[in-house]
A = this chain, B = another copy of it.
């Protein structure tokens, strides 16, 4: 029991907005805020291994920082280029690789005042081969992936904000497993320039932070978009939908029961929640995702595969071996299917404001040999819709269970607002 309580202390996400409030009030300086994260990191990192490198200048840089995110400690997934910190993609092919420049997103985040405190651990090229990061809720469990270090760093309070990317389920799943907010915006809302491609049709950049409002504020500050949560705004209860397709049959029954309890509770308090049928191309789109991902990965990693195949993990090498057999017409057909499924989905969003789903098939699996399954996420990456992992539910053992909120493509402001509302509703529901 002593160990369990010690482990639980590893979970200590720090709200970005609360931090900025303290800085505004003069309680702490931006440099002190960064220092607090680094102190936290010095302790938690011994167990968690969320970082592959630390920026030794972070505190000094924070002393000069200007902008809405001054004092915010940012962890950058190590498939995103940084000029002054090696970018290794968790591949021996790129050991000590130093890009010539920062990625667009890193430049924009620095311009907004945040301080890069380090590069967070990723699976190899953001695919499936795990890194050594552990879950702050229980170090014997995976944090999920591929944005493993980003999710764990925020959960453990080592960073206020972290960048990740999602091609299958690489933002929402680790956010769910680590009990933090993950925000996969609409495709293309955050620029991908300087991020290693895996599948350009799918790869989507996104954010991790403690709460929905923290993600919304950071996304606003970085993009100059109006995404912040306005608690004063008129808010009518959203019309929600659930599409229970065949993948739900394999989900953890206890997780589904807790999700259904939440839905009952939402309905009891007046929220309309309807069950929707999968559209014509929805189910075939699962397969289309796989074909698009693999066909494009074979091109994105063409140089690595042609010149350094022996340095790829067996998992990735076999995937790329197989990908050589996908024909251009299979790929074209998959893209046409994806476009049809996107059109159908935008029609379904005429009846509901957002969809709810599980964020993963279950809580974080035990062990570090797998990062878990992206099966509850891939379709939404393909459909390019904004998705959030909303925190608050958990298993009897205290492992986080996420609720996924999905909005229409381009509808990020309303989707964030709904996710923020749901976060409060879950808290009230859990309190009973």
Interface residues of A, Cβ cutoff 8 Å to B: 83, 94, 97, 100-104, 106-108, 110-111, 188, 191-194, 197, 200-201, 223-225, 296, 299-300, 302-304, 306-307, 327-328, 332, 410
With A223-B328, A410-B332 in contact, is A94–B104 under 8 Å at CB? Answer: no
CB pair A107–B332 under 8 Å, yes or no, is no
Q: How many copies does the complex hold?
A: 2
Q: How far is the CA of A335 from the CA of B200 in the complex (A)?
A: 18
Q: Pick the most buried of A107, A299, A302, A332: most chain B CB atoms within 10 A of its CB.
A: A302
Question: Do B299 and A104 have beta carbons less than 8 Å apart?
Answer: yes
Closest 5 CB pairs of A and B: A107-B302, A191-B299, A101-B303, A107-B303, A193-B197
Nearest-neighbour CB distance to chain B for A139, whole angstroms, equals 34
Residue of B nearest to A111 (CB): B306
- Given the complex of chains A and B, what is the CA–CA distance between A296 and B189 in angstroms? 11
CB-based contact B194/A328 at 8 Å: no
A328 in contact with B225 (CB, 8 Å): yes
A-B contacts besides A101-B304, A107-B306, 10 pairs, CB < 8 Å: A97-B100, A104-B302, A104-B303, A106-B303, A107-B303, A191-B296, A193-B197, A193-B200, A193-B300, A224-B328
Q: Contact: A191 with B306, CB < 8 Å?
A: no
Q: Shortest distance in angstroms between A277's beta carbon and chain B's nearest beta carbon? A: 26
Q: Are B193 and A299 in contact (CB under 8 A)?
A: yes
Report the Cα distance A299→B100, complex, angstroms: 16
CB distance A108 to B299 under 8 Å? yes
Among A111, A224, A328, the one with the most B-chain Cβ atoms within 10 Å of its Cβ is A328
Distance between Cα atoms of A100 and B83 in the complex (Å): 13
Q: Which residue of B lies closest to A331 (CB)?
A: B225
Contact A300 B97 (CB under 8 A): no
Q: Which residues of B contact A200 (CB under 8 A)?
A: 188, 191-193
Alpha-carbon distance between A27 and B133 when the two chains are bound, in angstroms: 60
- Give the shortest distance, in Å, between A185 (CB) and chain B (any CB): 12
A102/B193 in contact, CB under 8 A: no
In the complex, what distance in Å separates the CA atom of A83 from the CA atom of B307? Answer: 12
Please name 8 pairs of A and B residues whose Cβ atoms are closer than 8 Å in the assembled complex, sorted by A: A103-B303, A104-B299, A104-B302, A107-B307, A110-B306, A188-B201, A193-B200, A332-B410
Residues of chain B within 8 A (CB-CB) of A101 are 303-304
Contacts of A410 in B (CB 8 A): 332
| A103, A299, A300: most-surrounded residue (chain B CB, <10 A) | A299
* Chain B residues, Cβ within 8 Å of A103: 303
Kindly report which residue of chain B lies nearest to residue A305, judged by CB atoms: B107
- A110, closest chain B residue (CB): B306
Tell me the minimal C-beta distance from A238 to chain B in angstroms. Answer: 22
Q: What separation, in Å, do the CA atoms of A225 and B331 have in the docked complex?
A: 11
- CA distance in complex: A110, B305 (Å): 13
Say how far A332's CB is from chain B's closest CB, in angstroms: 7
Taken together as a complex, chains A and B put the C-alpha atoms of A225 and B295 apart, in Å, by 13
| Interface pair B302/A108, CB less than 8 Å apart | yes
Known: A193-B197, A194-B303. A100 touches B111 (CB 8 A): no
Kindly list chain B residues whose C-beta atoms are within 8 Å of the C-beta of A328. 223-225
Q: Which residue of B lies closest to A196 (CB)?
A: B193
Give Cα A327–Cα B200 distance, bound, in whole angstroms.
25
Q: Which residues of B contact A107 (CB under 8 A)?
A: 302-303, 306-307
Nearest opposing residue in chain B for A324, CB measure: B224
Min CB distance A428 to B, Å, is 34
The CA of A223 and the CA of B193, in the complex, are separated in Å by 24
Minimal beta-carbon separation of A93 from chain B (angstroms) = 8
- Which residues of chain B are within 8 angstroms of A194 by Cβ–Cβ distance? 303
